[in-house]
Structure 1
C-alpha cells in the first residue's frame, strides 16, 4: 500500500517515540536485574549499570531459600488465581443480564446507574475500613480476595461485549429449550475468550499487586502477601538479612537482595502476559465499541 511522505514521517516519528518510551521502561528493569546478579563489592562501588559485574547467583540463592518469602509468594499466587476465577464468574453473572434489553430485564438500567456511580465515586477510607472489618475480614486472608471480585469498570467492559453477542444464536438456543444460565455457560462464555482473557489480566494484576488492603487489614505476619513482604525487605534491613551469616563472608548485601526480591515478584506476571497478549487488544477494543 502506497504511503505519502507525510504518513511516512508520522509513522517514523511514532516509532521513535515508542522506542524511547520502551527504553525508559526497560532500562530501570535491566539495572535491577544486573544488580541482583552482581557481587557485593561491585554494587558497593557503584560499578553496576545495565550489565552484571562479578556475576554471581548468591543473592538469588539466599532469596530462594527464604521460607517466609515463599509463603508470601504462594499466598499471593493462591489469592490471585482464586480471586481472578471468582471475579470473572461474578462479573459474567452480573454483566450478562445487564446486557439484555429493558423488556428482558426491567431493572437493568437502574442497576447500571448504580454501577456507574460506584465506579466514579469511591468509598471513603474510614467507612470502607469499618464495613470490611464489620463483615469479619479484618486480619482474615479472605480480605485479599472478596473485596476485589467485582470491579465496575471491568463489569462495563464485559456488559458491552455481551451486548454485541449474536442475538440469532441466543434465539436459536432458546428455541431448543436452553435456559439463560445454561446459555451463559455453554454458549456465551466459550465464545467470549477475548474479553475473559482481557479481564483476567486486569483482575490478575490487581490481585497480584495489591498493597493497600493487606496493609490496612492484615496484622498477622503469616498472612502477609508478597508485596507487603517486599516492603519489609526494602524498609527493614534486619528482615531481609535475617538468618544470614557474618556479613563479611557474604557475596551479597541488602541492595542485591532487594533487587532479587523485586524481580522475584514481577516475573510471574511477565511470564503470564505473553499467553494473554493475543486476546488483550481484541478484548479491550470489542468492549469499547458501544455502550
Structure 2
C-alpha cells in the first residue's frame, strides 16, 4: 500500500531525527577514539577533536600489555558467559510452568513479578542480604543478582504461551515426561526467544557497574568496568619512568584507550545482534 503524503513527511522527520541523535551519540566516542591514537603533545594542547593528531599506537601498546587489564577483561568475560547461560536456564524453567493454565499459582506469581518492576528493593537491606550470603568480594555477585529479571520472565512466558500445544501432547503420548518435553522439544524450538533474552542478559552483565562498586573491593577481583573507572578517576595512570624517558602518551590518551578497550566488544557484536533486540521487543508486545 502506497504511503500518503503525511506518512511520507512523518517518515522523513523520524529518520532525520534518528540520524541527528545517532550523530550526537557517536561524536563523543569518535573523539575518545581519536584521543587514544594521538600523540601526547597535541592532547596536552587540546588540539584533538575528531581526528588523531600525531597518530601513534603507543597508548595502545602500553594498555594492551597490562596484565591487570586482561585479568579484569577475563573476569567480565567469564561472568558474562556463565551468567547468561545460567540466567537463560533459570528464566526458562520458571517461565514454562507459568505459561500453563493448569498451574494454579501462575497468575499470582506473574503479578508478584510485575510488582518487582515497579517497586525496587531498598538499597541497604539489599546490600546486607547479599553480604550475608557470602557474596561480598566474590565474583559470583556479578552473576547471581542477574539470573532472573521480571521483564525477561514475562517475555519468555509470553513465548511459551504461544507454543503449539499439539507438539507437547504428541510428545506426551509417546511417553515423554514434563522435563523431557521441556528440554528435548520446547527449548530446541525456542531459539528466537533464547537468543533475544541471551542478548539482554549478556549486555546487562557486561556493562554492570553498581554491583561491582557495592560489593567488590579487592582490586584483584575488579571486572572490566571497575578497572576502567580506576583508570579514569585515579590521579595518575602513568607508569613509573626514568627522568630521561618521555613516552608519546599521557594520562588522557591512556584513559581514552581504556574506555575504547572496554566498549569495543559490544560495539563489534551489536550490528549482528540488533535484529534480535527488535524481535525481543515484538515478543514482549504479544497480548496475553
TM-score bracket, normalised by the shorter chain, equals: over 0.9
CA positional deviation for 1:28: 1.1
Tell me how many residue pairs correspond in the alignment. 288
| Alignment partner, residue 131 of structure 1 | 129
Equivalent of 2:234, from 220, 236, 252?
236
CA positional deviation for 1:109: 1.6
Runs of 4+ in 1 over 3 A off after TM superposition: 242-248
In 2: Cα distance, 1:221 partner to 1:260 partner = 20
| Alignment partner, residue 280 of structure 2 | 283
- State whether structure 2 residue 283 is matched by structure 1 residue 270: no
Which aligned pairs between 1:91-240 and structure 2 lie closer than 5 A?
A: 91-101=91-101, 104-238=102-236, 240=237
Q: How big is each residue's C-alpha offset from its partner over 1:146-180, in whole Å with a ceiling of 9 and x where there is no partner?
A: 11111111111111111111112122222222222
Q: How big is each residue's C-alpha offset from its partner over 1:112-170, in whole Å with a ceiling of 9 and x where there is no partner?
A: 12212222211101111111011111111111111111111111111111111111212
| Alignment partner, residue 72 of structure 1 | 72
**Which stretch shows the higher mean deviation, 185-194 or 52-61?**
185-194
RMSD: 1.6
Structure 2 length-normalised TM: 0.95
| Alignment partner, residue 255 of structure 1 | 252
Asked whether the 8 Å contact 1:38–1:256 carries over to 2, the reply is yes
Q: How big is each residue's C-alpha offset from its partner over 1:84-122, in whole Å with a ceiling of 9 and x where there is no partner?
A: 110011000000110111xx2111122112212222211
1:117/1:8 CA distance change after superposition, 3 Å: closer
| Long gaps (5+) in structure 2 | none
Which aligned pairs between 1:37-56 and structure 2 lie closer than 5 A?
A: 37-56=37-56
In 1: Cα distance, 2:133 partner to 2:234 partner = 32
Structure 1 length-normalised TM: 0.94
CA positional deviation for 1:284: 2.2
